[in-house]
A and B are shown apart, each in its own frame.
Chain A
Amino acid sequence: MNTTLKVENLEKYYGSKGNITKAVDNISFNVSQGEYIGIMGASGSGKTTLLNCISTIDTATSGHIFIDGKDITNMKSKDLSKFRREKLGFIFQDFNLLDTLTAFENIALALTITKTSPKNIEKRVFEVAKLLDITDVLRKYPYQMSGGQKQRVASARAIITNPTLILADEPTGALDSKSARLLLESFENLNNEINATILMVTHDAFTASYCKRILFIKDGKIFNEIVKGNETRKEFFDRIMEVIALLGGDLNAN
């Protein structure tokens, strides 16, 4: 299987002389194509910093990140934007939809900034919308949609460019449990049907239980790793809870 993401000895320090915080402390891991991986950790564990480094929003202090074989840690900022819009898809906790555009236009925007020919746009948006079951809301504006619908629109925007890697940062954080479940099921769908590689950061055990593999991070280091394998989601969930108990049990303290 191809390696989509390879993180090598990644370190990110904050602060200056004498007062250094190691937010990410020598982390290495691989993600293969088609994987659905979760990263869990308490607040301040460094998981968001890690995600920011991978998503090229922040720069690493040392170490390397390879996405599709390309080292993004020594790319110029001009190439980074291009790389970001072509290879990566983002899903954020607070949706980040443009309130002035309709759902359709929000999704299409991801394509238009990659200079996709306008002819194909309509077709592709409808395809993705069908996959995520949001065809009905395409003409609506964000303020007319529910949270779950918004997050699925955001997901559609993230996957429409066929990114190498989809990065999701607490995607269920602002959703009620029913919407969260629907969204996670669509993620599963995406992972299974179009073989999308998804990296999801969360501190919610239920959300994490949809992943196929989970990395636990504590104080900037990988603390544990569990793989779902052939277990059911319930069994996987119980194992996650065990690790959380081991970590100190404060992960769910929201």
Chain B
Amino acid sequence: MLTKLAFKNVFKSFKDYTIYFFTLVLGVSVFYLFNSIESQTALIEVTKSGRDIIKLMTNTLSGLSVFIAFILGFLIIYANKFLMKRRHKEFAIYLTLGMSKRKVSTILLIETMIVGVFSLIVGLILGVGLSQFMSVFVSNMFEADMEKYEFIFSIQTCIKTLVYFGIMYLVMMLFNTFTVGKYKLIDLLQSGRKSEKIKLKNPILCVFVFIIACVILGMAYYQVTFKATEMTSGKAIFIPILMGIVSTFLIFWSLSGLILKIVMSMKSVYYKGLNSFTLRQVSSKINTTVISMTVICLMLFVTICTLSSALSLRNEMVSSLDRLAPVDIVVYKEKNIPEDNTACPTEQIEDSRVSIEESFEKVDFDVNKYFKDIVNVNVYTSSDFTMRDSLEQNIDEVKKEYPFLIVDGVESIMKISDYNKVAKLYGNETLSLNEDEYAVVADYENLVNIRNTGLEKGQQITLNGKTYKPKYNECKKGFLMISSIEVNAGIVVFPDKTIDELNSINSQTEYLIANYNAEDKDGKKEIEEEILNLDKRENSDKIFIDAISRIALSESSIGLSALVTFIGLYLGIVFLITSAGLLALKELTESTDSKGRYDILKKIGADKKMISKSLFTQIFIFFMFPLFIAIIHSIVGLKFSNFVLSTFGGKNLLISIIMTTVFLVIIYGGYFLITYFSSKSIINKK
């Protein structure tokens, strides 16, 4: 009997359950989707280091899922509470008929189970479906070939989803039983009869608070945009964030009263159709939900920023890799370590006497067989020549602007002929110098700026007792080490003769730059494996060389960006679901509570069209208000993150912003429409 009642309840009030069901299904499918990434990456061929990064990624996502489960659990319990509230009258009837509270709980229990099982099934189906698209995205991300498409279904993830959501439903059932136990019949019978007291905020105070909020927000914006270069410590970033939160709260606190006052004074707008009613409804809604609005707005802000930045990061990293790692490998070794250096083992000191090629011979690795386009260069440092010397004129200015800069480090120096060999191989601009000239090569933006201040003024450098003047009034773009981001802090290039005669050599490092002697990707991978396995060969403990390879760089940068992208997507989507879900539930509660008001409107002759329009406007404003402020925040936030990314080399956010908009429209828009139609059916219910 109870089961029959529960089934009937669920199907009868399916409309009431829509928002609840939608949230559950989205939650389940997103949960499955991101936890199944592990099984999708299993098919992708990567080297050992790439596998490690994927493992890190899936572990992180898995850990994050616990946090996500808490957020979703909270949302589900909140949604459930809303449903319970709407059914107070129904419970009252059960109780007056003499049904025990235990039996009412049982009905709820069965209902929760029905909806739970149903939503799990639909959610999992959706999740599995979406994960097929996801696998395309994943293999695209890892640049794996999509020739061998396979339908992927992860039983492990499926069980994990079932367990996590099972626990959530269990908690909810306990929660329901507890709530039912606390019910008092009189409260249930009289629920919905309370009329609210209308508190109108003092409009002058509202204007005042609003202005203060704008000023604080303006200051925060100013700091993260124009003063972004000073955001070097955690504390410096924390302050504008705090200011942003406080001002958002104050805006929500004051704006509804402010707008109400402004529109009320515009009589031709206020006294038109149901406008006065609509506006009062909206303002009382916002007034009673200032804190939730603030939280929702900030969540939306985080969502927009993480989604946009996460999606663009990967593209930035991959495209910069092509530019910044034009060769397959750079091998380097410290040369001519003095005999008396006790910090180094004798084998290393010995090995530092011979060239890289000879070191390779010790482990029976034929450089000419595996490598092509070989370039061999040296980089020196001189104890007489530090960064302080190349900035001399501006040192105070620079120190003031960049207090964390270490100016006493020795500068790297190179022969012009060596540098040109590298530049030619890399496709960078080659340089030419007169006997008394020098040039600086760098690409790390902040240091380029610092160095340019000196070069513009013709900063002279004295080396070996001879004075050199800059050939160019700015840094030349270029680098020696391959990397995934622009990190060359500066190499000073001198005429060959200068370095040949240099008597204050501090250290010398030999570089061997080469491409792998292979035609295709697979051949290159084989050579890479060969090099990675060098430490298993005989005599490998006698050589002291280091290397950076393009494949390793690419795998780690792809892995890193995949990690960030997936975390960003996961968090972003869940935050979006949560904030839209909260708004929807708030609005539905509100519609239920205001049903009486709509009945009055109908009685005094407002037609359906007018009422629907008013309802639409209310929900639209309620949904758009936090989104609008979040978007304004995001524009500034993205400017800042673009600044941060551009220290990585990023510039283009457009595609990811479009993607973010798509997510926003689907999830947020979906919730908006469901809320509108559900509200409409609530207020039209007889």
State the A residues within 8 Å of B (CB): 57, 78, 81-82, 84-86, 88, 90, 92, 96-101, 105, 108-115, 118-119, 121-122, 141-143, 157
Asked whether, in the complex, the Cβ of A100 is within 8 Å of the Cβ of B606, the reply is no
Which of B368-376, B380-388, B597-605 sits within the interface?
B597-605
Given known A-B contacts A97-B600, A100-B198, A118-B267, A108 and B605 have beta carbons under 8 A apart: no
Given known A-B contacts A96-B600, A110-B604, A157-B604, A115 and B273 have beta carbons under 8 A apart: yes
Given known A-B contacts A99-B196, A115-B273, A118-B271, A109 and B604 have beta carbons under 8 A apart: yes
A100 in complex: contacting residue of B272, B597, B608, CB < 8 Å: B597
Asked whether, in the complex, the Cβ of B277 is within 8 Å of the Cβ of A78, the reply is no
Given known A-B contacts A100-B284, A143-B195, A88 and B271 have beta carbons under 8 A apart: no
Q: A90-B603, A101-B280 are in contact. List 13 more A-B contacts (CB 8 A).
A: A81-B608, A85-B604, A85-B606, A99-B597, A110-B604, A111-B271, A113-B273, A113-B605, A113-B610, A121-B267, A121-B271, A141-B198, A143-B195
Inter-chain contacts of B603 with A (CB < 8 A): 57, 90, 92, 96
Cα–Cα distance between A99 and B605 once the two chains are bound (Å): 18
Given known A-B contacts A98-B600, A143-B195, A105 and B605 have beta carbons under 8 A apart: no
The listed residue with most B CB atoms (<10 A of its CB), out of A111, A121, A122, is A121
Asked whether, in the complex, the Cβ of B605 is within 8 Å of the Cβ of A109, the reply is no
B685 within 8 A of A: no
| Tier of interface size on chain B | 20 to 34
State the B residues within 8 Å of A (CB): 195-198, 267-268, 270-277, 280-281, 284, 597, 599-601, 603-608, 610
Given known A-B contacts A100-B198, A143-B197, A84 and B276 have beta carbons under 8 A apart: no
The A/B interface has a contact count, at CB < 8 Å, of 87
Closest A residue, CB atoms, query B597: A98
B277 in complex: contacting residue of A96, A109, A119, CB < 8 Å: A109
- 11 sampled A-B residue pairs with Cβ under 8 A: A84-B605, A85-B606, A100-B196, A100-B597, A108-B271, A110-B605, A111-B271, A118-B267, A118-B268, A121-B267, A143-B197
Cα–Cα distance between A110 and B601 once the two chains are bound (Å): 9
Asked whether, in the complex, the Cβ of B267 is within 8 Å of the Cβ of A122, the reply is yes
Cα–Cα distance between A114 and B605 once the two chains are bound (Å): 9
Inter-chain contacts of B197 with A (CB < 8 A): 141, 143
Inter-chain contacts of B610 with A (CB < 8 A): 113
The listed residue with most A CB atoms (<10 A of its CB), out of B274, B275, B600, is B600
Give chain B nearest CB distance to A75 CB in angstroms: 13
Cα–Cα distance between A122 and B270 once the two chains are bound (Å): 12
Give chain B nearest CB distance to A101 CB in angstroms: 6
Asked whether, in the complex, the Cβ of A105 is within 8 Å of the Cβ of B268, the reply is no
Cα–Cα distance between A92 and B599 once the two chains are bound (Å): 12
Given known A-B contacts A105-B276, A112-B271, A90 and B606 have beta carbons under 8 A apart: no
The listed residue with most A CB atoms (<10 A of its CB), out of B271, B275, B599, is B271
Asked whether, in the complex, the Cβ of B277 is within 8 Å of the Cβ of A100, the reply is yes
Asked whether, in the complex, the Cβ of A100 is within 8 Å of the Cβ of B275, the reply is no
Asked whether, in the complex, the Cβ of A88 is within 8 Å of the Cβ of B605, the reply is yes
Asked whether, in the complex, the Cβ of B277 is within 8 Å of the Cβ of A101, the reply is yes
Asked whether, in the complex, the Cβ of A112 is within 8 Å of the Cβ of B273, the reply is yes
Give chain B nearest CB distance to A105 CB in angstroms: 5
Closest B residue, CB atoms, query A104: B276
A98 in complex: contacting residue of B270, B275, B277, B607, CB < 8 Å: B277
Inter-chain contacts of B277 with A (CB < 8 A): 98, 100-101, 109
Cα–Cα distance between A110 and B606 once the two chains are bound (Å): 9
Closest A residue, CB atoms, query B264: A105
Inter-chain contacts of B274 with A (CB < 8 A): 109, 112-113
Inter-chain contacts of B275 with A (CB < 8 A): 112
Asked whether, in the complex, the Cβ of A99 is within 8 Å of the Cβ of B607, the reply is no
Asked whether, in the complex, the Cβ of A112 is within 8 Å of the Cβ of B604, the reply is no
Cα–Cα distance between A105 and B673 once the two chains are bound (Å): 30
Asked whether, in the complex, the Cβ of B276 is within 8 Å of the Cβ of A112, the reply is yes
Given known A-B contacts A108-B271, A118-B271, A143-B195, A85 and B276 have beta carbons under 8 A apart: no
Inter-chain contacts of A108 with B (CB < 8 A): 271, 276
Give chain B nearest CB distance to A146 CB in angstroms: 15
Inter-chain contacts of B601 with A (CB < 8 A): 98, 113
Give chain B nearest CB distance to A231 CB in angstroms: 35
Cα–Cα distance between A81 and B277 once the two chains are bound (Å): 18
Cα–Cα distance between A113 and B608 once the two chains are bound (Å): 12
Closest A residue, CB atoms, query B268: A118
Closest B residue, CB atoms, query A100: B280
Inter-chain contacts of A99 with B (CB < 8 A): 195-196, 198, 597
Inter-chain contacts of B273 with A (CB < 8 A): 112-113, 115
Cα–Cα distance between A96 and B599 once the two chains are bound (Å): 9
Closest B residue, CB atoms, query A79: B607
Cα–Cα distance between A110 and B280 once the two chains are bound (Å): 16
Cα–Cα distance between A108 and B601 once the two chains are bound (Å): 13
Give chain B nearest CB distance to A166 CB in angstroms: 12
Given known A-B contacts A118-B267, A143-B195, A143-B197, A90 and B604 have beta carbons under 8 A apart: yes
Asked whether, in the complex, the Cβ of A113 is within 8 Å of the Cβ of B604, the reply is yes
Cα–Cα distance between A209 and B284 once the two chains are bound (Å): 43
Inter-chain contacts of B605 with A (CB < 8 A): 81-82, 84-86, 88, 110, 113-114
Cα–Cα distance between A100 and B601 once the two chains are bound (Å): 13
Closest B residue, CB atoms, query A102: B198
Closest A residue, CB atoms, query B271: A118
Cα–Cα distance between A118 and B197 once the two chains are bound (Å): 28
